[in-house]
Chains A and B, each alone.
Chain A
């Protein structure tokens, strides 16, 4: 008695990605990526948790966006509404990216350190996986998959937040502020996506440095990455009275945004709402040009530094003999 077994969605989903896993090395790399999400569940649980909390906050907030009753007419102007709407979206993504930075920092510091600490590296190394592929998978997770995943979850959160808020506005439980505007939505998301792409490239040196610290430290990896920069800054200041390292770190943190002339763009994008002014994100989108980010030589130097760090991390994982 042979009945054809029904294909469940669980089988159908992997089938859709079969092209990804057909070639053995593609299949191996795919497995390495999945492994990271098994070990570090915060990589996918954190963005989801933030998303759920934000949507819940749309449900539970009481008059958090209370309007000044003396100027209701200006607030109801569609142009202003669109600005507020876009600004609210932008603001709603901030918790996502703050959490992402925290999660990725811990992940990068731990990912090549924990396996040496619990000696599971001896298990991973008993399988035919090169050290380049292992480190490459971690780099790919931190530099590509998690940022894109965070962007998508933030986008979905934005949409859900707006829907929940507007439903509450309809029944009179919340100020009617968030009016759907597709152009503003697309412009805001595109702007944030471009910002994310530039951030990945600009902050890559931090990623590389953390990965290298993780591969290098024999113990106390967290102390190394916090105390060493801090102490060098202090020692430099006391011994030479200079601030080169502090300046470098500062430049590496915010420098790229200067080259985009963001201040000028922001200044040109103010919309006045009665007495107050708000930045109009769609207007900002029209004014910002991301070209200068890519002609900034420091961005490329940073990427070369990142490549060197990753190479060193691979080399350490391959050749360092942590005797046991």
Chain B
């Protein structure tokens, strides 16, 4: 009985287990297959709605891909900093290195030529030392140029397409000239002392001609963007030559050649200062002091006529479009010229200070040092006038009290008549500083020395008086006359500088030496002044590059092709100066690398 009961329990248990198992399997299958299935069965494979939807989606995408039309991109975006800043920084770095690479061969050739003429081997060595900085700089220029081109094509494809449409005939010569540039550069540098002097000078001349030609072609592209010519109202090309030879092409060519020499000279002087400060022997110090002096002399000689070239450029901008000119000087960019005044004022101050410190290395220069305080006062006054804005930053109540944006008295110094006068006197003062330095330690022996001195003084005084008179006269005449007054102002200063120099050269021929120039015996502060000048020159180039380009405002090509990107606005000057500063710091980081590389060959020579 008991065993029968046990059997029943066992059978029942098995049934329960089987049912439980079947239920579990059923539940698991139900849970795992979450999809809806049609209740009827079929022999054919069933496509679920989801699979069907995926297939439809893929087919639609394939069809859309097949039929996708080609749309030309107008702009692409550079991450984080944006396209404009990316191109801005790259273009500026390219231009700074290009300026250096164009300028150094120019004055290296002149120095080499002077050495060849007077037979002084020191000049030849100095020219060679300057060119040591070239090969790495040339590579960096080309690298930044290629980088800039790729970025422009990538970020501004439509605009670049248009530029290529206008300037396509100029691209092949441009690239071809680069090959010649490389040929002349490396032959000039590596062939130093291996060719005859004349052959070597001719190689240097070739290098300069090709370098200048490259710059002229590139200048045509960028000046066309601001003052387009040779195209129809819709932008179609009528004459490529007219597009090249537009309003601002030649003024920019001249301005850039001069500015490049000033910039290149100042950077080369900074290199000499860097070497002077790290020099271990008196001989090294003497050599680098001299090199710094020559570099700075080149820079200042080029710097003095630069404002005149700037006037010409500005007048051509006005001639092309008064609106463009007034946007530059009286509109969105007017305050930029106050920043420029601070920079140029510092350049004048620095250049004069270096000359005055330089008198310390010349024996018997004390007799001239008493004049320095007067020159300093004159420079400070001119600086103050030049940096005075037309409209003062003031509160509403202050503006009301002044009766307008201009200060009742200081406002008179904010106009062009005052500024033209200030800059001309600044140039004249710097020239006098140089003249004093030149005369240190020497006294003329010619019989007409007294007359010569009187004549020089009279010319300089008359030039200063003319500049001052025309400056004041400008306040009392109408615009038409006033604009033209800058020409006689500039003319009188140039006349004074040329005529006084001619008299001085003749007067100091066979001059009696009162003491020798002790190269290397100069206050080390002077070397920091040279570095300060180089940084200021570089910053000034960055700032003026910005205004030249930014002047177009919301146009890629002024009046022809409008900028419709997110960057089609003029940023604040604060923003612009921050970008300029970052570029300048990057440039000095890289040029520091160039200096270091150039120094390695010295180490090699020392160890040999």
Do A and B interact with each other, yes or no? no
